[in-house]
Structure 1
Amino acid sequence: MYQTIVDDLKRKIAAGAFDLNEPLPTQVEFAKIYNTSEITTRRALTELANEGYIYRVRGRGTFIRLESDGKPKDKTIALERIYLAHSSIPLGTFSHRFYGDLAAGIQEVCEEHGIRFHLLDVGHKNALPAKDEKTGFVLLPNANTNPDLLRRWKEEVRKLVTVHFYYPQLQIPYVIVDNLTGGFLATQHLLSLGHRRIGIVLTGKSALEMNQEFSLRLQGYRLALSQYNVDFDPDLVSVIEMDEESAEMGYAGAKKLLSLPKPPTAMFVTSDFKAVGAMQAIKDAGLRIPEDISVIGYDDTLISPYLEPSLTTINQNTISVGRRAAEMLIFEWKQHEEGRLLKEEIVPKLIVRDSTTELDPYA
């Protein structure tokens, strides 16, 4: 936690968020601001002092240390442009909240600091523009991305941050959604409503063969069950394999759960696209949402508020993913060059709408 405070205060100092003539908040005040202990804020302020960002004056407080030019110490790198690099994603896909918010988050930070932002399709050539010290890349890999390609770009000493997927073996900075927490939040919401037979619809070949994001959502589901002392039932796990997320997947996954001798009273459908199909399967079975079965999705797509009933879901908070990826490139890259692996997991948000309700114990 203390390192998060250090990084945040460095960004704020560089952005001019503090009055240079006034003392900074005290460690007690910072503890309240960051909702942490005084021990943690004291450690953060000590590190900032050791690195030369701030200094203390007995009886007066803590101040920002100015350089000879009268400006605060600044370890930012002079970027002129940041690309969001993807592999042949159709432009229309950026209307999906995950991708649109991701791009918007990067753009916000770029606008705040006078940096140009562009989308970049690396295409089938898998090539980046000619190396330029003033260019940074937010890479958006997919399940088919070859790690050797990323290794080559790293060996070219490019300024790279990956989002959505990460590759620990490559030591490339990354920002990802905390999908384990997302799966936990979705399942915990249903458990808090009294549900105990909760089905989950996932994408993959099997419960043991799925990509990072769905595997972590399943782990979050299991963690929530264990915290509520609910036994894990593999029959309530419905895994469907198709090339792309679709309503058809959700329909097939929900039908499998509905065919059980004892169907679930709630379903966690791990994407909103699948949730659309799952809701239709429930209705086709003559059941009501949420009176008979509660449904929660994942992604908070733009259509989710307009479904009937409106869909309770998980917003992946990718605007924060985009912002943090850009901030790493601008403010924290020198730490990466000094050997620190930059990494962050962004916590998603529960969005409660009309498709979930308390379990009726008399139903």
Structure 2
Amino acid sequence: MTNIPLYQKIVDAIKAKIGSGELGSGDQVPTEAELSSQFGVSRITSKRALTELENEGLIYRVQGRGSFVREQSQTAPHGQGQAAEAGGQVHSGPYGNAENSVLLILPFAHNPGLGDYEKGINDYLSQAGYTLNIQSSSNFGQRRLLENALRGPNRGLIYYPVDSHSDVGALYQYRLKQFPIVIMDKQIEGLPFPSVVSDNFGGGYMATAHLIQNHHQKIAFISSLKVESSYSIRERYLGYLKAMFDHGLLDREAADTTDHYLAHEVDISRESYIRLIQSLLEQGVTAVVAENDLRAIEFIGAAKEMGLSVPDDLSIIGFDNIQLADLIEPKLTTISQNFEQMGYMAAEMLVQQIRNPMQRPEPAIVPVALMERQTVKTLQGRS
């Protein structure tokens, strides 16, 4: 006899209660903690069960309140495309009268480098009469989440992609079906979706110019990825190059201009940082622009381990202004993104599309700001 996964037992039990009427439309489903206690399973298992039910369109989640049973007429995705075509509107199928909810898909859960987009999104949606559901690809791949969202009950999607070129096929279906979508933080190559991004180019320029103003001339740009693989990193790198060019630092011998990349992996080893720092010092580099705050903080930790001082031996500037940037010692000089404003503008764009499917908002670029702290040293005796 085949063993049924523990999460599936919870799914089947809740389905049975919905089928029998014990749980009716709008009734609250037991929480993750309650399901864990009731079935003697971990919170991860109970969360997986609720996610499965949500993906099947049987329940919906309200941020801060819990999970609830959908109206039964909204739970079966079959025939959605036919109904939409017959009605002449994309959302005139069985989900057309669903609760006004939109979905936010994030690339990973609990990432300290991911800003507070949610607050800005909720601030706009609450005044516009919509609610927010959030899913991350910690349990499911982004492609699967994208495909499920296109069939699901949400009225639109705010999507934070892992990179600028993955899952193009799944995303193209959104364009073909005119499903409202806004891309957060990046622009998708070949698909001109409405997007909200920070001024990454301006931020890269600003960080580099600040170092140059403090008399640094040999400046490295470090990244854990190839710059062409990420829209935001590429823009920051191009801003760095433009600042170096404008200040005459690209007209020198090639050895005076330094681009460095860490290993192209998600988890960077301390040994990789140590080798990088040794190489920078050998080339006379005095300052670094990092792709983001997390890389800058890891860089500082490795430098300390080597007995070096930041900023006395090496200056560094990050990008993002995450909370940790102001808590470490020394406090990190960084480029601040306004995550809350980005979220607010993304939600506003999405609701515009929902209410007017023919409207295609222009991409929005949100200004950034330099946060001067303690990781940049002013060099003396430099012209």
* TM-score when normalising by structure 2: 0.64
* Greater alpha carbon shift after TM alignment, 303-312 vs 268-277: 268-277
Q: What does 1:82-231 align with in structure 2 at a 5 Å threshold?
A: 82-87=102-107, 89-90=108-109, 92-93=110-111, 96-99=112-115, 101-121=116-136, 123-124=140-141, 125-126=144-145, 127-128=148-149, 130=151, 135-143=155-163, 145-205=166-226, 209-231=228-250
> Deviation of residue 286 (structure 1)?
4.1
Alignment match, 2:332: 311
Q: What does 1:261-272 align with in structure 2 at a 5 Å threshold?
A: 263-272=284-293
Tell me if 1:301 matches 2:322: yes
- Say if 1:337 and 1:253 are closer, same or farther in 2 by CA, change over 3 A: farther
> Deviation of residue 204 (structure 1)?
2.5
> Deviation of residue 344 (structure 1)?
1.0
- Percent identity (aligned): 23
- Say if 1:168 and 1:333 are closer, same or farther in 2 by CA, change over 3 A: farther
- Say if 1:222 and 1:245 are closer, same or farther in 2 by CA, change over 3 A: farther
Alignment match, 1:255: 278
> Deviation of residue 302 (structure 1)?
1.9
Structure 2: which 5+ runs fail to align?
A: 1-97
CA distance in 2 between counterparts of 1:220 and 1:185 reads 8
Answer whether contact 2:224 2:263 (CA < 8 A) is retained: yes
Alignment match, 1:60: none
> What are the Cα deviations for residues 213-239 of structure 1, in whole angstroms up to 9, with x where unaligned?
222111100111122222264652111
Amino acid corresponding to residue 213 of structure 1 in structure 2: S
> Deviation of residue 169 (structure 1)?
2.3
- Say if 1:321 and 1:354 are closer, same or farther in 2 by CA, change over 3 A: same
Amino acid corresponding to residue 224 of structure 2 in structure 1: T
Amino acid corresponding to residue 253 of structure 1 in structure 2: L
Answer whether contact 2:113 2:294 (CA < 8 A) is retained: no
Answer whether contact 1:336 1:342 (CA < 8 A) is retained: no
State the aligned residue count: 274
CA distance in 1 between counterparts of 2:365 and 2:331 reads 28
Aligned mate of 1:354, from 370, 374, 382: 374
Aligned mate of 2:262, from 219, 237, 240: 240
Structure 1: which 5+ runs fail to align?
A: 1-77
Aligned mate of 1:323, from 316, 341, 344: 344
CA distance in 2 between counterparts of 1:316 and 1:245 reads 24
Q: What does 1:75-86 align with in structure 2 at a 5 Å threshold?
A: 80-86=100-106
CA distance in 2 between counterparts of 1:136 and 1:244 reads 30
- The root-mean-square deviation of aligned C-alpha atoms, in Å, is 2.7
Answer whether contact 2:219 2:287 (CA < 8 A) is retained: yes
Aligned mate of 1:279, from 300, 309, 313: 300
SS of corresponding position for 1:303 = helix
Answer whether contact 1:314 1:348 (CA < 8 A) is retained: yes
Alignment match, 2:48: none
* TM-score when normalising by structure 1: 0.67
- Say if 1:293 and 1:243 are closer, same or farther in 2 by CA, change over 3 A: closer
